[in-house]
Structure 1
Amino acid sequence: MKSIFDTEAYEELMARADKLTPDSPRGWGKMSAAQMAWHCQYPLQLAVTNKKTKVNGKFFLARWFFKKSLYNDRPWRKNLPTAPQLVAREEKDFTTEIEKLKALITDCHEVKTRETWNPHPFFGTFTKDQWGQLEYKHLDHHFKQFGV
């Protein structure tokens, strides 16, 4: 499984981000390219900031069922549900959001030497390798959504 922490995968993600345009057609879902760029920022921020958060124990079964799919080699299916706070409800400025996304991709790649990783607020504990794979897989899923 590719990881955002691997230089080759990082460079690939940056090149794919550069191919996105405001008019990139989506293959599925409802988001525009600008909304997708906004949507992809929060998971990267979680990894970069590494804030200590409480794991929401309310969804134990969902977490247990889906967690391994977050960082394995199998692609995610289209139109998966999204956490309500990550749904872009209004249009976003493409240039602003893609620049923020690219900066976060770089920031995330640069924390690859960190040894201590706090839990994800929903999915709980990940190893460093799993964090890198999760971040790559999420971006790959959405970049494929927009044909890049």
Structure 2
Amino acid sequence: MKSFFEDGVYDEITSRLSKLNNDTSAIWGKMNVGQMLHHCQMPLNIILEKEDYGVKPNWLINLLFKKSMYSDKLWKKNLPTAKGFAIKDEKDFETEKKAITALIDELNTQRKRNDWQPHPAFGKLTKEQWGKMQYKHLDHHFRQFGV
């Protein structure tokens, strides 16, 4: 699995993001493109220490899901969304695209950083684990919308 912090990945992510527009339809799942962009901001806000969304440690989630967050295995289509991360209300595509672009840009400015906070649910993660988790989440949802 690629890491957000690897050379070239920022360019890949921003290129794929630029291919999305208000009319881009999902290949699977319930979210529209604006909702997906809002949802994808949440893990970025967590790593950038802007918000924790009330996420608490849970030994069962750690046992069952932590390794899948940064493993090389792609996530399956239609996986259930974590409670509190499902977006059901309508979101403006342009607003959400600007917001996620700003977060991706900000994270890219910190790609050389090595001291990351513990994840509120998964605890201590290495820089590599954080980077893979961020890439994997964005990749999963970009694939959901065909980019």
**TM more than 0.5:** yes
Aligned to 1:31: 31
Aligned to 2:41: 41
Cα distance change of structure 1 residues 53 and 138 upon mapping to structure 2, 3 Å threshold: closer
User: Percent identity of the aligned residues?
Assistant: 47
How many residues align structurally?
147
**Alignment partners' CA distance in 2, 1:93 and 1:72:** 32
**Alignment partners' CA distance in 2, 1:37 and 1:139:** 9
Verify the 8 A CA contact 1:52 1:118 in the aligned structure 2: no
Which 4+ runs in 1 deviate beyond 6 A? Answer: 50-55
Question: What pairs with 1:1-148 in structure 2 (closer than 5 Å)?
Answer: 1-49=1-49, 56-57=56-57, 59-148=58-147
Q: Could you say which structure has the higher helix fraction?
A: 1
**Alignment partners' CA distance in 2, 1:50 and 1:5:** 19
**Alignment partners' CA distance in 1, 2:64 and 2:113:** 28
**Alignment partners' CA distance in 2, 1:141 and 1:54:** 23
Cα distance change of structure 1 residues 52 and 24 upon mapping to structure 2, 3 Å threshold: closer
The structural deviation recorded for 1:10 is 0.9
The structural deviation recorded for 1:132 is 0.6
The structural deviation recorded for 1:49 is 2.2
Structure 1's unaligned 5+ residue stretches are: none
Cα distance change of structure 1 residues 19 and 68 upon mapping to structure 2, 3 Å threshold: same
Verify the 8 A CA contact 1:71 1:134 in the aligned structure 2: yes
Partner SS state of residue 43, structure 1: helix
Structure 2 length-normalised TM: 0.92
Verify the 8 A CA contact 1:71 1:137 in the aligned structure 2: yes
| CA deviation map 1:69-92 (0-9, x unaligned) | 111111001111212221112110
Which residue identity lines up with residue 21 of structure 2 in the other structure?
Answer: T
Structure 1 length-normalised TM: 0.91
Structure 2's unaligned 5+ residue stretches are: none
